Amino acid sequence: MSQSESISLCLQAHKICRSIGAREIISDVSLNINKQEIFGFLGPSGSGKTTLIKILAGIDKATSGEITLLGTALPHLSMMKKIGYMAQSDALYHDLTAKENLDFFGSLFGLKGQHFMRRQREVLELVGLESHAKKMVQAYSGGMKRRLSLAIALIHEPEVLILDEPTVGIDPSLRLMIWNELYRLCRSGVTILLTTHVMDEAEKCHRLGMILDGRLIATGTPEELKQTARGTTMEEAFLYYGGIRK
């Protein structure tokens, strides 16, 4: 790999495997993700998407293989401040308000002062929760909790944003607003990895990795994948690469 190619890469994964006992959850996954791109992992529930992105975030450890993120081998504690991670299950304190949750998680990243206050206002406005900032999270709907989880992932302005099913339970108008913000973040220098099983969301990604039974079965832009599969939809492309014929 040339020096210029290395500089343009955000993440490199080489032969990643993850097993629990005799069961292999992730099998021999290798891929490169460029800086300033939105890379989506598309696959059905139970395909291994969540396990894979936890490994790529340094939260879980691969059984074998190597991962380099922004030039540092993972897992590595120093990288946590450079990553914003939004889990599929909301990790929130329900007996605190949204603002108090942001206060707590922001303090973990050393945020304080006027900059932190401004940042709280920005992320709450982005996810449409500015008028609910002082409401207890236990009173939030499922969609509101997802929105707060996204705000927390963004609070410290990470270089890499890793989102597991970020728009599940969010209404269409707010989902469009969030995608517009993801594109803006990407243009500003942020690299975004996300998982989805929704085909129209997959179309919004710059590139995709299709996951089936813990294997990476195809990578490319949405248009490249559809053209190779001789299909007109992402669903047709996924069935093609998965060896499933109508």
User: With 90 as the cut, is the pLDDT of residue 204 above it?
Assistant: yes
Instruction: Give the model's pLDDT for residue 3.
Output: 43
**Alpha-carbon distance 139 to 120, whole Å?**
20
For tokens 């909790």, what's the residue? 145
The token pair at 212 is 């089936």
Average pLDDT of the residues of the chain: 91
Confidence of residue 168 (pLDDT cuts 50, 70, 90): confident
Tell me if 170 sits within 8 A of 146, measured CB to CB: yes
Per DSSP, 130 falls in state G
pLDDT of residue 138: 96
Structure tokens at 193: 């990895």
Q: Any idea which residue has 């343009």 for tokens?
A: 8
Q: Using one digit for the tens of pLDDT, what is the confidence trace for 7-27?
A: 589 999 999 999 999 999 999
- Give pLDDT, residue 7: 59
Q: Which residue has the higher pLDDT, 112 or 170?
A: 112
SS3 (DSSP) at 119:
helix
Confidence of residue 2 (pLDDT cuts 50, 70, 90): very low
Q: Are strands 72-73 and 191-196 parallel, antiparallel or unpaired?
A: unpaired
Break the chain down into helix, strand, coil percent, rounded to 5. Answer: 40, 25, 35
Which letter, b or e, does each residue of 51-64 get, where b requires 16 or more Cβ atoms within 10 Å of its Cβ? bbbbbbbbebebee
Q: Residue 79 carries which DSSP code? A: G
> Which strands sit side by side in the sheet containing 191-196, from one edge to the other?
83-86, 160-164, 191-196, 38-42, 207-212, 215-220
Domains of the chain: 3-241 (3.40.50.300)
